[in-house]
Amino acid sequence: MTLADYVEILQAEHRMERVYSFEFEGKSYWLKQPEHPHGIQRLLKPFSRAAFRREIQRIKWLILHKAPIPPVKIINSHYLVMEDAGHNVRFWLESDITAAQKQRILDDCAKALADLHEHGIVHGRPLLKDILWQDGKVSFIDFEAVSHSHKLIWQKMRDALLFIYGVCREKTTPAQIQRTIDTFVCYEDSRVWHYALALVKKYRFLYYLLLPFKPLAKTDLLAFYVLFETLLTKFL
């Protein structure tokens, strides 16, 4: 039985599951297919098949441009099969590996994002839950944006700030955050970083406006504070 034959069987058995993990001949894979919303979700997500078709086209574009995504084994209008590319970075940061190993992973991610940008590709939402790491190799999943040449610098700048925000949001120390930023700046186009800092400076009033609410802040807002405090103190 081939992988394609086995996937046909799984697809029929798990037709209602958006994402399904399975193993075949000692390797792990992910089966991804159109979402089948139920009840009120049908009103909230009425175009799930069209969204899946767009995702397939995006992945085909990423394959064509040799983007660092998990190996794609089967891709068609009905489903997608990708080889497992490891745990996401959030998992690694919450694991019991050493601080040095965690920093290595963060550095690898910073370099990988800068390299992605160097090849004219943007992610759209490079949070650590959408970045996989395995044995030194970084893979990106769930791309949210299509690269547009006329606004590529702006898209890269948004990627940069969201990536750093994601690092601030997880269980990271100030030293890890600073080191990761330094690594990213070292490899990223200087224009992207210049625009990122300019945007932070432009909207720093929001930091001071929200500062009184810091004692009540939860994870997302706390990450916002850390992002601004780190960049305002170090770079502005």
- 3 state DSSP class of 207: helix
User: What percentage of the chain exceeds 70 in pLDDT?
Assistant: 94
Confidence category of residue 45, pLDDT binned at 50, 70, 90: low
The percent of residues in the chain predicted with pLDDT above 90, rounded, is: 83
pTM of the model: 0.91
**Cα separations (Å) of 102 from 105, 107, 128, 219?**
5, 9, 12, 20
What's the pLDDT tens digit per position in 55-76?
999 999 999 999 999 999 999 9
- Residues paired with residue 5 on neighbouring β-strands, in sequence order: none
pLDDT tens readout for residues 153-211 = 999 999 999 999 999 999 999 999 999 999 999 999 999 999 999 999 999 999 999 99
The three-state secondary structure class of 175 is: helix
Confidence (pLDDT) at 41: 47
What end-to-end distance do the CA atoms of the chain give, in Å? 60
Q: From the CB of residue 145, how many other CB atoms can be counted at a distance below 10 Å?
A: 15
Count of other CB atoms within 10 angstroms of residue 77: 10
List, for residues 112-129, the tens digit of each pLDDT value: 999 999 999 999 999 999
Mutual angle of helices 152-169 and 219-234, in 10-degree steps: 110
